[in-house]
Structure 1
Amino acid sequence: MAETETPPGAQRFIPADAASLDDLRGAAPGCRGCELHSDATQVVFGRGDATARVVMVGEQPGDLEDQKGLPFVGPAGRLLRTAVGDAGIDPGQVYLTNSVKHFRFQLRGKRRIHQTPDRVHIVACRPWLVAEFALLRPDVIVVLGATAAKALLGPSFRVTRSRGVPLPWPDSAQRAQDFPIGPAQLVATIHPSAVLRADDRDTAYDGLVADLTVAGRLLAA
């Protein structure tokens, strides 16, 4: 789909009477809000407890997540789990989700190569993120990478400029209306897949852990 085209969006596929994350999870496979559903194996919804104190938002499922139907179960997810532990955060207090729920890729032979979602996909899928947040009451939101930042904070936010800095959430009346979760703190950092791609993985990993440690300290406070 070209960047200029506007998909119908996910809103009409979200049950108006959804009272739980399970209600949303049950409805998500029927979403036809953009064209990504047609090539993906399945929708990949968020996972974790509704009472989780930390919500971590990533970009989209990867190849393995698409096959298994669970977020953050591939190499980047394994690295994230290690980083969460090294940062002193209880993984049982974490809810994991993505700003786009279907895997976007290009076929090269038999391989499916990740493609970053376009703005139209982020906007089309955003109602699912809004619906999830409406049922969550986190103390801390962790934004993992640029796509998640665009979904939550708009296209002008730059993770590289603001990573590891506690920010009040919501930071505007519009976001308070869009994501009615009450006051929280937000910390932005790189996506764990960026660590896997880095030339100096040790330094990149240490930076991720340092940012997540800020989130852990906010929880402790």
Structure 2
Amino acid sequence: MATRTEPGAQEFVPAHPGSLDELRAAAGGCRGCHLYRDATQTVFGAGPVRPAVVLVGEQPGDVEDRRGAPFVGPAGKVLDRALAEAGLARADTYLTNAVKHFKHRDTGKRRIHQTPTRTEVVSCLPWLTAELELLRPRFVVALGGTAVKALLGPSATISAVRGQLLPWPAAAHHPADFPHADGWFAATIHPSAVLRAEDRDALYQGLVEDLALVARALGDV
């Protein structure tokens, strides 16, 4: 008997979405992988409809899963502060994740984050692709290793691309999936890494410097 495979998100993504609201509503019913079963809700992206910068994280955390919005928990507070120091206004950026459901292990007392597998990332990627097609940002910024691999391919690493501005979507693993070809890609650590680090100040400063690179480039566009 053949093993049943999960369908992936593509069959749930509208063929020609007219707006982010339409896309967000459709994402609420996504059953493209098993992660929806243990999550409270789909956590879609949020921000302006024509942002200069799109920030892509890994997945929603516990707070985001409960509230239904990206980067509203502890890591989001770190990101807010870093954006402000770097010269980027959060109100002018669109925040989203490579995976739209919270993957976790429930201990009975708290829900422990678990990193999405490559299969889960690929299953969810059609939502991110559709978001970027509508948003058409000047800069796509990956926050953390999962986002880097989602956008640039499974062999990509933060260390190889951090501190650079790469042409987008030419740098992508499958550039044809992303229709606009006049932007830039950058990568930095996920703000949650700052919270886990022993030397928080150094890691945080690196996050600010990476975001400032984007801010300076945005001023030159």
- CA distance, structure 1, for counterparts of residue 51 and residue 44 of structure 2: 16
Structure 2, unaligned stretches of length 5 or more? Answer: none
Per-residue CA deviations over 1:96-154 (Å, capped at 9, x if unaligned) read: 00000000000112210000000110000000001101101211111100110111000
- CA distance, structure 1, for counterparts of residue 149 and residue 103 of structure 2: 17
Deviation at 1:162, TM superposition (A): 1.9
- CA distance, structure 2, for counterparts of residue 117 and residue 169 of structure 1: 24
- CA distance, structure 1, for counterparts of residue 169 and residue 185 of structure 2: 9
TM-score when normalising by structure 2: 0.95
- CA distance, structure 1, for counterparts of residue 97 and residue 40 of structure 2: 16
Counterpart residue number, 2:35: 36
Are 1:135 and 2:115 matched, yes or no? no
Partner SS for 1:135: helix
Task: Determine if contact 2:152/2:172 at 8 Å carries over to the other structure.
Answer: no
Counterpart residue number, 2:197: 198
Matches within 5 A, 1:57-206: 57-171=56-170, 175-206=174-205
The number of equivalent residue pairs is 218
Task: Determine if contact 1:140/1:218 at 8 Å carries over to the other structure.
Answer: no
Are 1:49 and 2:48 matched, yes or no? yes
- CA distance, structure 1, for counterparts of residue 218 and residue 164 of structure 2: 14
Deviation at 1:181, TM superposition (A): 2.2
Counterpart residue type for residue 90 of structure 1 = A
Counterpart residue number, 1:214: 213
The CA RMSD measured in Å over matched residues stands at 1.5
Deviation at 1:165, TM superposition (A): 1.1
Q: 1:64 to 1:168 in 2, by over 3 A?
A: same
- CA distance, structure 2, for counterparts of residue 115 and residue 90 of structure 1: 30
Task: Determine if contact 1:6/1:120 at 8 Å carries over to the other structure.
Answer: no
What percentage of aligned pairs have identical amino acids?
58
Task: Determine if contact 2:152/2:171 at 8 Å carries over to the other structure.
Answer: no
Q: 1:197 to 1:171 in 2, by over 3 A?
A: same
Matches within 5 A, 1:7-46: 7-46=6-45
Q: 1:123 to 1:184 in 2, by over 3 A?
A: same
Task: Determine if contact 1:51/1:138 at 8 Å carries over to the other structure.
Answer: yes
Partner SS for 2:102: coil
Counterpart residue type for residue 178 of structure 1 = D
Structure 1, unaligned stretches of length 5 or more? Answer: none
Task: Determine if contact 2:151/2:173 at 8 Å carries over to the other structure.
Answer: no
Deviation at 1:92, TM superposition (A): 2.1
Deviation at 1:174, TM superposition (A): 6.4
- CA distance, structure 1, for counterparts of residue 42 and residue 168 of structure 2: 28
TM-score when normalising by structure 1: 0.95
